[in-house]
Structure 1
Amino acid sequence: KLARRYDQLPHANGKPFILAVADFQASGSMMWSREGLIGYLLGSGATVAEVDGRPQAVPMPAEHLLGPARFPAGLFANDEHAELSAVIFTNACSMAKLNRVAISGGGAPAGHRYTRIGNFFDRTPGALKGIPFCLDITSADYRGLWPHGYEPWTAEMEVFHNPFARHPVSVDLLPEATHWFRQGGEWICSSVYEASILWSQTLITSSDKTAPSLDDFLNNAARDSRMDSPEA
């Protein structure tokens, strides 16, 4: 996309140039591709290591992406791509999102149950994992995650700002999105909503069936983990 030099087109020249991306390469790929995008843009990820006797997240710099192509990482690590002002990403660019916005706003068709499972971002300092959740989309607990009283369109939208951008993007362009920007030598994440969902799945089941539970979700995750293990 950058090689096409869209930023030099008459209607874009001299203005912030933004790319919006979403991952549809495989079924469910939006549940795990977010971390890869962050590593690609920042040129760094994180791993867990024992520091002072306890597990902590430590930086893991990367010059290339994994895989035989060895594609360079760190799109925003220097000024080589100053023409790109920002990248917009969401892990919920799907039909499920379209359904949830309407259903959480009171438009749930009768005869079905709508459940969302996934992981909340844990804002506890030093947290290494997300917080699992399983919520009925029509419930007060779910709708109460946002001040609107229903799921907003921008709930999972993230804007990654290029610190070397020739034409920076104002946060006011998408005020309710989560914004990533470099400040004081480190990357800062700023969000409007307290609830931030790292990944999720939406389940639609018959209302006469037993409702999915958090225990079901955790047990299935543990089973899948055992199946993926080399010893399994």
Structure 2
Amino acid sequence: MRGYTVGNEEVEPVEIRQVSERRFNAHVVWARGPGWLPPVKEVEWLEIESAQVFGTVFVDLTDKDLHSTVMAPDLAGRYRGVDILQDHANIREAVERTAASMARVHIDYDKARAQGDEKASVDFFAKVAKASKLHTRFRYLRDSTTAVAAKRLIEVAMRWYENQDGSYIEQFQTTGFDARVWELYLWAVLREAGHRVEQPKPAPDFLARGIVGDFYVEATTSNPPPANQVVPLPTTEEDIFEYVHNYLPTRFSGPLWAKLNDKGYWTRDGLDLTIPFVIAIQDFHQDLSMTWSQSALFEYLYGVRVEEVESEGRMQKIEVPVAQLKWGPKVLHSGFFKLPDSEHVSGVVHNAAGTLSKFNRMGIAAGMGDPSVTVKHEGRRFSKDNTGVEEAFSQTVTPGYEEDWIDGLAVFHNPNALNPLPFEAFPGAAHVFEEDGLHRQITPAGHLVSSTTEIVAHY
């Protein structure tokens, strides 16, 4: 406990603690609106529990001055700046002045955090549909102790999210739950990357603005087929080959072709046709199908298959052209980036880990979990020593656990794009691109390849 003097008045003691950047960002990263972020580096983060007031100390990278900001939820629940302190002499002074300001905000909390321009925020969990129509995973998110970290994180984020087409909440609760979670995930990735994010009406889903330039992102998903057309997950090597190289690409072709066929994305009035346009796709068509999704997506986008052949006594990887995809009666053209009008698509983004489990892990890492719940994250990732070797990992997810929103995300760049997407638009992602007729991949150290999340409740 510590007391602060404000004028001649002693402030009632209040505990102000240092917290992690992850906990701070879980509450305030959503506050970034239109425009560009100033070039700053945050160095300290403070909190009055539980998430009533936050403070951060940062260095202005332009003039190297030390400043700080105090933030609190406005009367609509959105974290916004309530005080800015400038020109601190050193870190110690910055922390003390920031803490004193936070204590002043805490004295007259409602008055200090009121902004005067609050607009009603959306509530993803407000009742808008009959119980019989609710999606199974929405029920789980809303009601289960094992998902409480994800729910708490989403409850903070949703205060800033715009119900762009008027149907978000209804779909989030019913038929479009997975697709809406994917959109929310992408929104988090863009904000974590330092972009200011707008939600154009009626489309695309996002306009990201940043130092490297602006670009659009349109989200889509591969959804479950009719019950009588469900393909069982493969178990043998032969079945896996057919599933990955022939069936899964057909699951991506439908939603991607639909976006390509909607020429409004590059002809609609009001859109900037000189900036990159990106399609972000997720595979929700069947549980665990994401294990093989990325390689199937690569094959469909570029129209090539990577195979291992023996040459001079050792195995080598070669690219084999794939002109058509055949699955049952379906015969489709392979090579999405070679289709007419595809030059308008700058790239395709995918992350098999961009699911509700990611929100749960990120929420726990930010201290939003329930102590009776144990979560383990395990799978395979590239080693963190930059050797490019894949290795197994297994980690218990606790407050302070290290994971970023972008972990596991891959960007497939269109070699024929009219407006190429800068690699820096998604820092920390893996990037696949074409060079000298061959395809290369740049993978960051520690890049997530595949994973599962095990959740156990201790009652």
TM-score (norm 2): 0.39
- Structure 1 counterpart of 2:70: none
1:204 matches 2:449: no
1:46 equivalent in structure 2:
306
What's the CA shift string for 1:50-79, capped at 9, x where partnerless? 222233333232112241322111122577
Which string of whole-angstrom CA distances, capped at 9 and with x for unpartnered residues, describes residues 138-192 of structure 1? 398xx4xxxxxx211111121111111111112232223222222233222224x
**Greater helix proportion:** 2
Q: Give, in whole Å, the separation in 1 of the partners of 2:458 and 2:333.
A: 49
**Which amino acid in structure 1 is aligned with residue 374 of structure 2?**
R
Q: How many Å apart are 1:107 and its aligned residue?
A: 3.7
CA distance in 2, matches of 1:188, 1:164: 15
Aligned position for 2:281: 21
Supply the RMSD in Å over aligned alpha carbons. Answer: 2.5
Give the % identical residues: 28
The answer to whether the aligner puts 1:166 opposite 2:418 as a matched pair is yes
Structure 1 residues 88 and 81: CA distance shift in structure 2, 3 A = same
Q: Show structure 2 runs of 5+ residues with no match.
A: 1-258
Q: Compared with structure 1, are the counterparts of its residues 64 and 81 closer, same or farther at alpha carbon in structure 2 (3 Å cutoff)?
A: same
Q: Is the 8 A contact 2:431 2:441 kept in 1?
A: yes
Letter in 2 for 1:189: Q
Please say which structure displays the higher CA radius of gyration: 2
Residue number among 434, 446, 450 corresponding to 1:182 in the alignment: 434
Secondary structure at 2:327 match in 1: coil
Partner SS state of residue 65, structure 1 = strand
Say whether the 8 Å CA contact 2:381–2:393 is kept in structure 1.
Answer: yes
Mapped partners of 1:8, 1:80: distance in 2 = 12
Q: Does 1:8 align with 2:274?
A: no
Deviation of residue 121 (structure 1)? 3.9
Q: Is the 8 A contact 1:79 1:164 kept in 2?
A: no
Task: Output the CA distance in 1 between the equivalents of 2:353 and 2:267.
Answer: 30
Q: Distance in 1 between matches of 2:382 and 2:332?
A: 29
What is the CA–CA distance in structure 1 between the aligned matches of 2:425 and 2:318, rounded to whole Å? 33
Matched, 1:117 2:381: no
Residue 392 of structure 2, aligned match among 129, 132, 135: 132
Q: Any conservation in 2 of the 1:161–1:179 contact (CA below 8 Å)?
A: yes
Asked whether 1:60 is paired with 2:320, we answer: yes
Q: In structure 2, the residue corresponding to 1:2 is in which secondary structure?
A: helix
- Structure 2 CA distance for aligned equivalents of residues 178 and 54 of structure 1: 27
Task: Confirm or deny: 8 A CA contact 2:382 2:445 kept in the other structure.
Answer: no
Contact 2:260 2:341 in 1 (8 A): no
Q: Is the 8 A contact 2:364 2:397 kept in 1?
A: yes
Asked if 1 retains the 8 angstrom alpha-carbon contact of 2:375 and 2:456, the reply is: yes
> Does the aligned pair in 1 maintain the 2:282–2:351 contact within 8 Å?
yes
Cα distance between partner residues in 1 of 2:431 and 2:284: 22
CA contact (8 A) 2:412 2:432 kept: yes
The count of aligned residue pairs is: 196
Contact 1:116–1:203 (Cα < 8 Å) also in 2: yes
Correspondence 1:75 to 2:353: no
CA–CA separation in structure 2 for the residues paired with 1:20 and 1:160: 10
1:78/1:164 contact within 8 Å kept: no
Per-residue Cα deviation, 1:84-127 (whole angstroms, up to 9, x for no partner): 111111111211010111223444421222111222247767x7
Structure 1 gaps of 5+ residues are 144-149, 209-232
Partner of 2:345: 84
Secondary structure at the aligned position of 1:32 is classed as helix
Q: Distance in 1 between matches of 2:439 and 2:420?
A: 16
Judge conservation of contact 1:161–1:169 (CA < 8 Å) in 2. Answer: yes
Shift of 1:46: 1.5
C-alpha distance in 1 between matches for 2:366 and 2:312: 48
Q: Is the Cα–Cα contact under 8 Å of residues 121 and 197 in structure 1 kept in the other structure?
A: yes
Letter in 1 for 2:431: H
Q: Which residue of 2 aligns with 1:95?
A: 356
Task: Assess if the C-alpha contact under 8 Å between 1:86 and 1:160 holds in 2.
Answer: yes
Moved more, 13-22 or 50-59: 50-59
Larger mean Cα displacement after TM superposition, 42-51 or 116-125: 116-125
Partner residue, 2:203? none
Q: Is 2:365 the counterpart of 1:104? A: yes
- CA change 1:58–1:139 in 2 (3 A) is farther
Looking at structure 2, the residues matched to 11 and 190 of structure 1 have their Cα atoms a distance apart, in angstroms, of 34
* TM-score between the two structures when normalised by the length of structure 1: 0.74
Deviations 1:9-49 (A, max 9, x none): 12333332211110011112222211110001111121233
